Amino acid sequence: MDDDEHVLVRSRWGTSRYVYNHRNPVGLALIVLTPLLALGALIGMRAESTWSEGELRDAVHAGIQRLDGGRHYTVLEGDHGGLITEAIRRSGIGPEYGVETREAGAGRYTVSTADTTASYCAHITLTLDEEPPVVFPDAADLPPPGPDMLAFYVSHATVGDGPCP
């Protein structure tokens, strides 16, 4: 090897691009290491974007714990799977997407992901918040909201292993 071999040389394929020089030890090392580093980065990104069984278990339990006793501005009737999904996302465990909630009736939701075989049964009930966080001074007491009206509710949540019956 000559002392004047450069790490990058002009391509011989008729383009004006520069390529690694295989005659230079640093260039040869870069030829070998670059694809390996790229492959490692892709594998790492894949691992960060999929759920594992342990991550799902920890995220569901942390999310349900966060949801229990929380205040929500919502309607009494309807699908509350979004509350569960948001609580799991806010737990900070696992990817921020990919959690599925399926309503099983009577306030029960089966929580799972496409990446795992595990599933959990979350049960959520809402009771009217007696002391809502927004208070209007000198306002007359409002009548209790109907089931399809927005109001402040306190959630009570539990979780069990396996899908909901």
C-alpha dihedral sign at 56, 57, 60, 65? negative
CA distance 70 to 68: 6
pTM, rounded to two decimals: 0.69
pLDDT at 140: 63
- What's the pLDDT tens digit per position in 9-58? 888 887 889 888 888 999 989 989 989 998 888 887 776 778 889 999 99
Is the per-residue pLDDT at 141 higher than 80? no
Q: Could you give phi then psi for residue 82, rounded to 5 degrees? A: -65, -35
Whats the size of the chain, residue-wise? 165
Is the per-residue pLDDT at 138 higher than 70? no
- What's the pLDDT tens digit per position in 71-113? 888 888 888 898 999 999 999 898 888 899 999 988 999 999 9
pLDDT, average across residues 55-74: 92
Beta strands in the chain, from DSSP E residues, in sequence order: 8-10, 18-20, 71-74, 99-105, 108-113, 119-128, 151-161
pLDDT at 61: 95
CA distance 38 to 43: 9
pLDDT at 16: 83
